[in-house]
Amino acid sequence: MGEPDPTAPKLAPARDRVGPINERLAPLYPEFEGLNYANPFQLLVAVVLSAQCTDKRVNTITPALFARFPTAADMATCDIRELEQLVKPSGFYKNKAKNIRAACVEMVARFGGQVPTDLDDLVSLPGVGRKTANVIRGHAFETPGVTVDTHVGRLSRRLGLTRHQSPVKVELALAEIVPQAEWLHFSGRLIMHGRKVCLARKPRCEQCAVADLCPKVGVKGLAASRRRKKKAKPDSPQRAQRAQREPESK
């Protein structure tokens, strides 16, 4: 667990900072980049494909995919090899194709070929975790949940909004302090801020619009660990070889 930056000025409690943080991020990410979809079924498929893949790339794959298989019933009975080829550019395509088809089989068998709206029903579908379910509920059914992916978890901890590591606990902690109407937008903004500024390995605190509202929990430790690693590692294999060959001068 990281510690707050001891050099940072004392900040207001998370509950009082989260509003201003959200307000500052809002104009920076007015329409966070997202997936193209026309209905809940297309959104579910697109979200499954977006694991370990950019939204942009998914958006290049889905038009042909949905033209070939327009409904869950079509996808439930498709040839898995054909589906694999269509989703291949998204990476991990065998697994994704298997999960998507299995989810469609379940939707046809249990939900009349429709995407269920209930969170428990959604997470019972193959390949659909809590994060995916919340994205679907928030975007397709306007029943928002706080989407917690790796960015939202990391930023929430750095911003001192929660100390939890578990995505479910982060989700509940954010739901306590962020107004429900903002759940979806706030998580979308944190995702974009995590992609563009508060990067996992090297947060750009000096360029950050919410730096004065952020205790930078764990960030100092990150910089120290990077310095240690750099020191421990020779700059290049060639330099390491030279160091071994050349005796130290006295």
Tell me which residues are annotated as active site: 131, 149
Residue 17 contacts ligand SF4 per CB under 6 A: no
User: Which residue ranges are tagged as binding site?
Assistant: 198, 205, 208, 214
Minimum distance, C-beta of residue 36 to ligand SF4, in the bound complex (Å): 29
Binding to ligand SF4 (CB under 6 A): which residues in 152-191? 155, 158-159
Q: What angle do CA 10, 170, 92 make, to 5 degrees?
A: 130
Q: What are the angstrom distances between the C-alpha of 75 and each of 118, 123, 145?
A: 22, 19, 27
Per this entry, what is the length of the chain? 250
Which of residues 2 and 129 has its CB atom nearest to ligand SF4 in the complex?
Answer: 2
Shortest Å, Cβ 210 to ligand SF4: 5
Q: Toward ligand SF4, which CB reaches closer, 18 or 197? A: 197
Shortest Å, Cβ 138 to ligand SF4 = 22
Q: Applying CB under 6 A, which of residues 119, 211, 222, 223 lies at the interface with ligand SF4?
A: 211
Residues whose CB is less than 8 angstroms from the CB of residue 68 and which lie 6 or more positions away in sequence, other chains included: 74, 82, 86
Please give the annotated binding residues for [4Fe-4S] cluster, written as ranges: 198, 205, 208, 214
Does 214 interact with ligand SF4 (rule: CB under 6 A)?
yes
For ligand SF4 (CB under 6 A), the number of binding residues is 14
Convert residues 43-82 into a mask of x (bound to ligand SF4 by CB under 6 A) and - (unbound): ----------------------------------------
SS3 state at 163:
coil
Shortest gap between Cβ of 219 and ligand SF4 (angstroms)? 5
Q: Does residue 204 bind ligand SF4 (CB under 6 A)?
A: yes
Q: Provide φ and ψ at 127, rounded to 5°.
A: 80, 0
Under rule CB under 6 A, residue 205 binds ligand SF4: yes
Write the interaction track for ligand SF4 spanning residues 215-234; mark x where CB under 6 A is met and - where it is not: -x--x---------------
Least Å distance, CB 23 to ligand SF4, is: 14
Interface residue with ligand SF4, options 208, 221, 223, 234 (CB under 6 A): 208
Residue ranges in contact with ligand SF4 by CB under 6 A: 155, 158-159, 197-198, 203-205, 208, 210-211, 214, 216, 219
